[in-house]
Amino acid sequence: MQIRIEDYPGSIDAARTLIAARESGVAGPRLPAECRPQSMGQAFAVQQRTAQLLQETRQDRIAAWKSALPSPEKMVVAPIYASGTVYAEAGPVATRTQVVRIEPEIAFELAQDLPARDTPYTDAEIDAAVGGARLALEVLGCRYASPEHASLPELLADHMFNEGLVLGARIASADAVPSSMTLTLSVGGREVEQHPGFHPNDRPKAGLYWLANFLREQGLGLHAGQHVITGSYAGFLDVPAHQDIELVYGELGVLRVRFGS
């Protein structure tokens, strides 16, 4: 799937609207028709405008990315900002809701930059830039009150439901991330669910390989210290705020977190 950033006159207004909704924490209507992106290229332009404004006005940098192999139906690529990226061990993760929707993922951490260049990166070059991996949870949310009525470009412009990222313990090796594992969820010390987890792209690094070259083609890149998540092992899970959450990732480890003030 070939997509290029396609800036358009309404991109800055779309970005401002989405930032305002993000900061208020209140989902609103679809983007106004006059600034609504009409293509995936325009949607990615809104993402870049959002990142530019957040950096310039709030010093809120891109700390991570979500990515998956694109399909004819959709494209999943979006920056995740430092303001929404937290470490589980740091204490309760702030939330505005009583129920938090999460996706269990693995976050690959870059130890080296992968900047824009003319030639494609090989899988081996990208592997060499990865310094490690962590257990992770993507926190989901949407700036539209009725996302089912939004177009795919609008959803992409809104960062494909990303609300934030929780980073857990490091795992032994980024090269040993499995394509499947059993996920066990406990709430308040009581086991409530067990899932036969499967990565949607089979190869967990596939989305990372694609992302590095997608950004390269746009004149962008990945930077040391950034994390990349590439797909949920169990779709989404709804967990309560103000209770201790424990998620066991097969043999890889355990992520413990509590949502709430």
CB neighbours (10 Å) of residue 111? 12
CATH code of residue 162: 3.90.850.10
Average pLDDT over residues 62-78: 91
> What is the rounded average pLDDT of the residues 32-60?
96
Q: Please give the residue that has the higher pLDDT: either 182 or 3.
A: 182
Residue 56 predicted with pLDDT over 90: yes
For 188, the domain range is: 61-259
- Can you read off the two tokens belonging to residue 206? 């596939």
Q: Is residue 18 part of a domain?
A: no
Q: Is the pLDDT of residue 187 over 90?
A: yes
DSSP label at residue 72 = S
- pTM for the whole thing? 0.96
In a domain, 221, yes or no: yes
Q: What is the pLDDT of residue 71?
A: 83
Query: Is 10 inside a domain boundary?
Result: no
Q: Identify whether 19 is part of a domain.
A: no
Question: So what's the pLDDT on residue 220?
Answer: 96
pLDDT band at 3 (very low <50, low <70, confident <90, very high): confident
Beta strands in the chain (DSSP E): 62-67, 77-81, 85-87, 99-110, 130-140, 162-170, 180-187, 190-198, 227-229, 237-240, 244-249, 253-258
pLDDT tens figures, 89-122: 999 999 989 999 999 999 999 999 999 999 999 9
CB-based burial label for 126 (10 Å; 0-12, 13-18, 19+)? buried
What residue type is 21 in one-letter code? A
Q: What are the E-state strand segments in 18-145?
A: 62-67, 77-81, 85-87, 99-110, 130-140
Q: Is residue 190 part of a domain?
A: yes
Q: Is the pLDDT of residue 1 over 60?
A: no
> Half-sphere exposure (CA, 13 Å, Cβ side) for 210?
23
- The answer to whether residue 174 sits within a structural domain is yes
pLDDT tens for 238-261 read 999 999 999 999 999 999 999 997
Here the tokens at position 252 are: 């890889």
Q: Does 69 score more than 60 pLDDT?
A: yes
The Cβ of residue 165 has, within 10 Å, a number of other Cβ atoms equal to: 25
Interval 121-131 mean pLDDT: 98
The confidence score (pLDDT) of residue 108 equals 98
Query: How many separate domains does the chain show?
Result: 1
Q: Report the pLDDT value the prediction gives residue 115, as an integer from 0 to 100.
A: 97
In a domain, 20, yes or no: no
Average pLDDT over residues 218-244: 96
Which residues lie closer than 8 Å to 96 by C-beta, 6 or more apart? 25
**Would 230 be classed as within a structural domain?**
yes
